[in-house]
Amino acid sequence: MFAATILTLYPEMFPGPLGISLAGRALAEGRWSIEPVQIRDYATDRHRSVDDTPAGGGAGMVMRADVLARAVDAALDRRPDVPLLAMTPRGRPLSQERVRTLAAGPGVTILCGRFEGIDERLFEGRAIEQVSVGDYVLSGGEMAAMVVLDACIRLLPGVMGAASSGDDESFETGLLEYPQYTRPVEWEGRTIPEVLRSGDHAAVNAWRHARAEADTRSRRPDLWERHGGARIHPPSGARHEKKDR
């Protein structure tokens, strides 16, 4: 079973949306578990303080290394076998590859930051993988932790239905997924591409692959470059033409 431990100042935020729908059903079925831990329980002063003003001045508050280290060490004692992550916009961007590896393991411990950040000495003193969910700033790491968990949970055995292995979907192939259509066949004068109604599976697959490539190239040149698309289709007029069929 995939066991998540969440170190947070807001344990009541969990499971939150992960208690509903696909993840919620999987939680009820015992396919994963979640243990939110109140970081404040590791404070030692009578105000139970977890933060203080930033050294060098500036706005906001910084989470204390000593308090966080006690929370982290207790979690490591309980679950020495699981990866320890901290959610921060300064972290390495989350990838589908990292998600796949995490989901294949025994679980994860996630430290959620709040305020202006975490005392850097925590990351010097403990082996913690810093992870970002994107180049924007959330009000805390909790939503980001939910993103990590949601992405992992849907990959756990038995969680996704038959539609599942998800081999075609965005990023699993290094490309964006091809566009989808469903009934009605005509909507506001627009029809479903003919090939998808042809019953010719080889033609459908070829069309989907071509659209996945064209859409990745136009929407996500960064992904396309990494995919090696530029090598397969050398720079030419073809690279710049808009193929929004």
Contacts with ligand ADE, residue ranges (CB under 6 A)? 87-89, 113, 132-134, 136-138, 141, 144
Residues in Cβ contact with 192 at an 8 Å cutoff, skipping those fewer than 6 apart: 181, 185
We find the least distance from the C-beta atom of residue 132 to ligand ADE, in angstroms, to be: 4
**Shorter beta-carbon distance to ligand ADE: residue 122 or 133:** 133
* Full DSSP string of 56-117: T--SS-EE-HHHHHHHHHHHHHH-TTS-EEEEEEEEEEP-HHHHHHHHTSSEEEEEEP-TT-
We find the least distance from the C-beta atom of residue 149 to ligand ADE, in angstroms, to be: 13
Nearest CA-CA partner of 117 in 127, 130, 99: 130
Within 13 Å and on the Cβ side, how many CA atoms surround 127?
Answer: 4
CA 169 to chain CA centroid, Å, is: 15
CB 225 within 8 A of CB 184: no
We find the least distance from the C-beta atom of residue 8 to ligand ADE, in angstroms, to be: 12
Helix, strand or coil, per DSSP, at residue 34: strand
**Shorter beta-carbon distance to ligand ADE: residue 110 or 175:** 110
Nearest CA-CA partner of 175 in 231, 234, 219: 219
**Shorter beta-carbon distance to ligand ADE: residue 27 or 138:** 138
We find the least distance from the C-beta atom of residue 118 to ligand ADE, in angstroms, to be: 10
**Shorter beta-carbon distance to ligand ADE: residue 144 or 212:** 144
We find the least distance from the C-beta atom of residue 93 to ligand ADE, in angstroms, to be: 9
We find the least distance from the C-beta atom of residue 4 to ligand ADE, in angstroms, to be: 16
**Shorter beta-carbon distance to ligand ADE: residue 8 or 88:** 88
Nearest CA-CA partner of 75 in 156, 8, 13, 153: 8
We find the least distance from the C-beta atom of residue 9 to ligand ADE, in angstroms, to be: 13
**Between helices 96-103 and 141-153, what is the axis angle to 10°?**
70
**Shorter beta-carbon distance to ligand ADE: residue 72 or 196:** 72
